[in-house]
Copies of this chain bind each other. A is one copy, B any other.
C-alpha cells in the first residue's frame, strides 16, 4: 500500500506534456516553469517526478522512441527511415541527442534491433555499436539540414537574411570561385532522396 499523499499526476503524463511543448515551440521554450504552468502545477512540483531537467529530457527521448513491435525486426535501411520519421515528427530530437544517456527501455530496444540487423556481418560487437552510433548521427545531421532548409524557406528574416548577405558579399570578392559557381548554378536543385543517401551510407560502413 502506498503510504503518504498520492501524486496528482503520473510521470508519463509529465513527460508527455513536455514533449507536447517541445514539439509545438521547440526545446528552448521548454522550461520548468512553462511545463508546470501547462500542467496547472507549481514549478517545484515537477521535481517529484524527475530528478532534474536533464533526466526529463532523457525520458522525453526515450518516450518518443517507442517502436511498434508489430513491425518485427527491420533491416538497417528501415531502421534509419524510421529514425528520420521520428526526427521529422519531433524536430527537437536531433538537438537533444548529443551527450545524452540512452539507457531507457525504448532506446535499448532500438539498439537491440540495430544489433540484430548487423548480425550477418559478423563484426565485433564494439564495431557494431560504433556503426550504429555513426548511422544515428548521420540521420540526425541529415534531418537537421532538412529542417534548417525548410525554416530558411519561410525566412527567419533577421538571421537568415544576414547570412545570405554575408555569403553574397564574400562571393562577390572573388576569393571563392567554386562557391560562386555553385551559388550561380541556381539554388533549388532537388537534393538526393534520403533513402538513396542512407543506402550509400550503410554500404560504406558495413560493406
Contact = CB atoms under 8 A, between A and B. Distances in A.
A181 interface: yes
Given A98-B95, A109-B176, A111-B176, A126 B191 contact: yes
Interface in A134-191: 134, 137-138, 140-142, 144-145, 148, 159, 162-163, 166-167, 170, 175-179, 181-183, 185, 187, 189, 191
Contacts of A124: 185, 189
Nearest to A54: B159
Given A95-B99, A166-B103, A179-B115, A127 B204 contact: no
A108 B179 contact: yes
Interface in A103-119: 103, 105, 108-109, 111-112, 115-116, 119
Given A191-B130, A205-B197, A178 B101 contact: no
A2 interface: no
A12 interface: no
A183 B108 CA distance: 13
Of A95, A116, A182, most buried by chain B (CB within 10 Å of CB) is A182
Nearest to A163: B101
Given A108-B170, A141-B138, A179-B111, A130 B192 contact: yes
Contacts of A179: 108, 111-112, 115
Contact of A103 (B163, B185, B187): B163
15 contacts: A95-B99, A108-B175, A108-B179, A111-B176, A111-B179, A112-B178, A124-B189, A130-B191, A133-B145, A134-B145, A134-B197, A137-B144, A138-B141, A201-B204, A204-B207
Interface of A: 95, 98-99, 101, 103, 105, 108-109, 111-112, 115-116, 119, 124-130, 133-134, 137-138, 140-142, 144-145, 148, 159, 162-163, 166-167, 170, 175-179, 181-183, 185, 187, 189, 191-192, 197, 200-205, 207
